[in-house]
Chain A
Amino acid sequence: MKRKMKMKSMLLLTITGITLLACNTKNERTRTANTPTTDVENIKIKGSETVLPLTQKAAEVYMNSNKEASITVTGGGSGVGIASLMEGTTDIAQASRSMKFDEKQKLQDAGKEVKEVVIAYDAMAVIVHPANKVSQLTREQIEGIFTGKIKNWKELGGDDMEIIPYARETSSGTYEFFKESVLQNKNHMTGIMSMPANGAIIQSVGQTNGAIAYVGLAYLNSNVKALQVSYDQGKTFVAPSFENAKNKTYPIVRPLFYYYLGASENKVKSFVDFVLSPEGQDIVKEVGYVGLK
């Protein structure tokens, strides 16, 4: 009985000891982790998957030259980014579409002033299978294809072959922009094939003879053929290229945005300025987008 008591008290002692020790080390750890963050504010950037690679690269370079800076970049989509901006869980929302009217309204209702910065442009190419004879289309023809009115390549001067349009997911910024700019706000036809990513679109178009789709210029490769596009009823056809996107002759170009609240301007200003600087715009080109100047 005595021995048991002794063992019990020893056990109790060791347990308290371990707990105390654990508490102690835990305290110390949290303290060391806290010190740097109190000096430098962590900038959180969230939103569009299209802008993601650009922001990641820029943040990397920026953090290398500013050792004390700390930037966290996450994707999730333009809608998620803007929603987080409203909730205050991100400092910058990156978006591949401009803010929608009701999103602006919500921010205004909450009494928050939002700043918009265009950081780069992204040109979109309309692509087909490399063996397709058709090499140019007007905007009206593309609209006809994606709204389901033109169904055979024969009608466009190609082979007698069914047209298979691939779209991006209905919620992606790329889809929204294509709908707004090329389809002039009309909906894609019901039951259109839709792919989750630019890479998957290229893969599918490359292995489907009758396919047509749209992707960002940066994703073009030799597995697909990019079409020349006309926005003036077929008078001039322009090929998608960085030069043509820059000198504004190529029509399907969209701006990429950063949104931040007026209240947090001081916190994010230096990073946004960095992206807009010549060094930042070099990164834009490197990632495959079109620079501002």
Chain B
Amino acid sequence: MIKKISNIVIKQLLTVSGAITGIAILFISIFLFKEGIGFFNSPAVEKGYSLYVHASNPINELSSKEIKEIFDSEITNWKTVGGNDEAIKIFRIDEIFQKYSEEELGKDYQLLPEKLGEEIKSDKNIIAYIPQKYAPTLTKGIKVLHIKHLTLSDFFLGKEWLPTATPSPLFGVMPLFLGTLLVSILAIIFALPLGLGVAIYLSELANEKIRKLLKPIIELLSGIPSVVYGFFGLVVLSPLVQKTFHLSVGETALTGSLILAIMALPTIISVAEDAMRNTPRAMREASLALGATQWQTIYKVVIPYAKSGISAAVVLGIGRAIGETMAVLMVTGNAAVMPTSIFNSVRTIPATIAAELGEAPAGGTHYQALFLLGCVLFLITMVFSIIAEIISKKKNY
């Protein structure tokens, strides 16, 4: 009777806990995508702001890159963007506060639009960056520049990531995406031969005593906090890389991938070793009985048998590397450039989110862009988990 009741209770509890986990995962992904999708409705300049020029200016539209270069004084003549041959005069809202005191602008800045209007009207080469709330709508002789909304290709194909540039931030995810892939794939290239070697040693060659000692130690590696790996990388690995390859900087994609390789090792070793040890004793003995040497048995029987397990180990290792944040943040230098060699400094997606989310104004375009990055990362890791799932189910021998 009691057994029956407890059976039912346990069954119910397990169902409930399963349901809770499922709901939590669903909830997190919905939240992530809901916050991220808002990005595509954002204008290319900061929300609530517009760009104003003198009405006689022939320019009607500027791209976000042109806006950025104008405000960085890289474009200094209207001719460059198709206008008259005149020097560009930049005007920011703060300049009005240097000219007039708070009192002169009236209570709640009532007189601000008027003063801004005068300012823009007085210079025909001006480009003014002003909040829409104080837009000088009543003043004649001023026009507002048309600003495009951010598009899919701005985000996914953009090559510059400058999220806090004013007035026109650039959200090109390409360098971050490639940086993440470069570091992770390089890490797997380092970790795979080493991890496989250790796994073969542990499952086939080591005696029971050594195995019992080594396995927990290797698994302990995954218990070290990633910030400790990061610090180790910054203080030890990065100068080492710099000296060995005679580089001017030690914080490179290579340094990051070395650290990630060390971090991915325990996963690869324990999953691959488990798979190899699962090879039936009968198969091993049959091979040896036919006169095969131990090495022949390993690479003709054990490895083919454990192939799916080994592949799963690799994919899990890549997953670990792609999602790793803190260690990478500390050692890769975080420069958002399109990587051209392994000695470039790179910026990864998780590092970007970790470094920037804290200071991004909540609900703003930058904030949404970071959530969208989270979605991208979520999709990448999901693809890898699905691949791992498919591979580990397949038995091909």
Bound-state Cα–Cα, A8 to B336, Å: 67
A102-B46, A193-B333, A203-B234 known; A187+B355 contact, CB < 8 A: no
Bound-state Cα–Cα, A207 to B234, Å: 10
Q: Are A207 and B242 in contact (CB under 8 A)?
A: yes
Bound-state Cα–Cα, A28 to B49, Å: 55
Q: Are B1 and A187 in contact (CB under 8 A)?
A: no
Q: Are B165 and A77 in contact (CB under 8 A)?
A: no
Q: Are B355 and A196 in contact (CB under 8 A)?
A: yes
Q: Is the interface of A mostly helix, strand, loop or mixed?
A: mixed
Q: Which of A167-210 contact B (CB under 8 A)?
A: 169-173, 175-176, 185-187, 190-196, 200, 203-204, 207-210
Bound-state Cα–Cα, A165 to B359, Å: 22
| B138 within 8 Å of A (CB atoms) | no
Q: Which of A141-180 contact B (CB under 8 A)?
A: 147, 161-162, 164, 169-173, 175-176
Q: Are B71 and A185 in contact (CB under 8 A)?
A: yes
Q: Which listed residue, B2, B162, B356, touches A187 by the CB 8 Å rule?
A: B162
Residues of B within 8 A of A191 (CB): 175, 335-337, 345
Which of B162, B358, B359: most chain A Cβ within 10 A? B359
| A4 within 8 Å of B (CB atoms) | yes
Shortest distance between the CB of B352 and any CB in chain A (Å): 9
| B329 within 8 Å of A (CB atoms) | yes
A4-B1, A193-B345 known; A207+B356 contact, CB < 8 A: no
Residues of A within 8 A of B2 (CB): 4, 7-8, 11
Residues of A within 8 A of B248 (CB): 161-162, 164, 208-210
Measured CB to CB, the nearest residue on chain B to A163 is B248
Q: Are B166 and A185 in contact (CB under 8 A)?
A: yes
Chain A 201-229, CB-CB to B under 8 Å as 1, else 0, gives 00110011111000000000000000000
Residues of B within 8 A of A170 (CB): 162-164, 355-356
Residues of B within 8 A of A207 (CB): 238-239, 242, 250
10 pairs of A and B residues whose beta carbons are closest in the complex: A171-B359, A191-B337, A77-B358, A77-B359, A79-B359, A83-B362, A193-B333, A169-B355, A170-B164, A171-B356
A-B contact pairs, 29 of them (CB 8 A): A4-B1, A8-B1, A8-B2, A79-B359, A101-B93, A101-B94, A101-B131, A102-B49, A105-B131, A162-B248, A169-B355, A169-B356, A170-B162, A170-B164, A170-B356, A171-B355, A173-B359, A185-B92, A186-B71, A186-B73, A187-B72, A187-B165, A192-B335, A196-B334, A196-B354, A203-B235, A204-B234, A207-B239, A208-B250
Give the interface of A toward B (CB within 8 A): 4, 7-8, 11, 76-80, 82-83, 100-103, 105, 108, 147, 161-162, 164, 169-173, 175-176, 185-187, 190-196, 200, 203-204, 207-211
